[in-house]
Amino acid sequence: MRTLSVFLALLLGLAGCASSGPTQTADPSLWQDHHFDDSGVVPSPEQAFAMSPPMEVLARKLAKSSNPKKALVDYLFDDGEVRYDNSRTRNASETFETGSGNCMSLVLMTASLARSLNIPYQYQLVEAPPVWDRQGGLYLLNGHVNLRLSNVVNLDEVRFSGDTSTIDFLPGSQMRGYQIRRLSESQLMARYYNNLAAEAMVDGDRDRAYQLLKMAYQIEPGYDQMWNTLGVLYRRHGLEAEAEAVYRHAMQLPKVELDAMHNLSVLLASQNRLIEWQAIHKELELRRIRNPYYYYDMGEQAYRRGQYASAVRYFERALDLADYRHEFHFGLSRAYFSNGQFRLSERHLSKAHELAPQNEKQRYQLKLTALRSH
């Protein structure tokens, strides 16, 4: 999916490191029900996955196959290919009907069909670089999820085995090197409602956006990005004191603290609170300098531009701050390889293999074997 993180359109920031920490208890006063109309109807999670009659017809047809999973994959990539459309997050039946949607839409539709066919599946968050978009005076920071289908699943360990297929708009070659994190259904649905809330804000429907964010919180209180979206909603609704309180709460949450600091700095600047703004801005710059992922992201950007010498320097800076991260060594290995420095490339690829978690080691071993035969 493309999950949407919302920023005010005055100052932009980099996405923070994806480290996790303890969930902060939210003060109930952060919610401002009396400022919003709650008469609108918010779709339930069940409605997000609900199958239309044409979907049920397809499911019955696929169920007759000797290999329903293969039949579903063949349908998705051949007969029923979904066109990528990042302008709207659609539910399962809408995606099926229109044949278009964003990555979240594709995940919902596929999960709905897989569930009806008793095909085991797993939601996945792809730690790919975020994609920026601008709509309705907002900057939208897009994350990414996909779905993994399997023939066999060990439910005790949530570990897939046997033949698996990843359902994604991105080809597998574009996802190599990115970490994959499992998502529960509640974590996925919190992102779904956050998407809908961001889109409602773009459409100018602030009351609906608020109700959707409350739904996201009720489903998954630990989904931290929702607080930044709520703060932006308050700011656009003229509730600046309330927005500031939400931003300051979000600044205590490791996953979104930098995003919240950026949005707070925009608010402080608009109120001419320049001394406070200067302090926040200075802290942001210090966080960037101390954050190894800042240099890692810069290295990835330089690598994609073909600036391999610059990429080497950025990856080396990241390793100076955190030489225990396997992805930093892998990034440096790729940059060295593209720069023609094969011995150094092999050294850091070996280090990436050494430091990688068990489920990543085979991938690095294959790359090492290929490199040594180069």
Tokens encoding 340: 């023609």
DSSP 152: E
Q: Render pLDDT for 294-348 as a digit per residue (tens, 0 to 9).
A: 788 889 989 999 999 999 999 999 999 888 889 999 999 999 999 999 999 999 9
Q: What is the mean pLDDT of residues 195-213?
A: 94
Q: Rounded to 5 degrees, what are φ and ψ at 292?
A: -65, -25
Q: Which domains does the chain have, with CATH numbers?
A: 4-15+32-237 (3.10.620), 292-372 (1.25.40.10)
Cα separation, 159 vs 355, in Å, equals 21
Closest residue by Cα to residue 235 from 245, 221, 225, 220? 245
- Total count of residues recorded for the chain: 374
Q: Render pLDDT for 132-165 as a digit per residue (tens, 0 to 9).
A: 455 555 655 557 888 999 864 443 433 344 467 8
Closest residue by Cα to residue 335 from 374, 364, 296? 296
Cα separation, 214 vs 206, in Å, equals 12
DSSP 16: P
Q: Is the pLDDT of residue 289 over 60?
A: yes
Q: Rounded to 5 degrees, what are φ and ψ at 176?
A: -65, 135
- The DSSP line for 315-365 is HHHHHHH-TT-HHHHHHHHHHHHHTT-HHHHHHHHHHHHHHS-HHHHHHHH
Total-model pTM:
0.72
Q: Render pLDDT for 56-84 as a digit per residue (tens, 0 to 9).
A: 999 999 999 999 998 998 888 877 677 87
Q: Is the pLDDT of residue 12 over 50?
A: no
Amino acid at 193: Y
Q: What is the mean pLDDT of residues 350-357?
A: 87
- Per-residue confidence (pLDDT) for residue 329, from 0 to 100: 93
Cα separation, 251 vs 324, in Å, equals 26
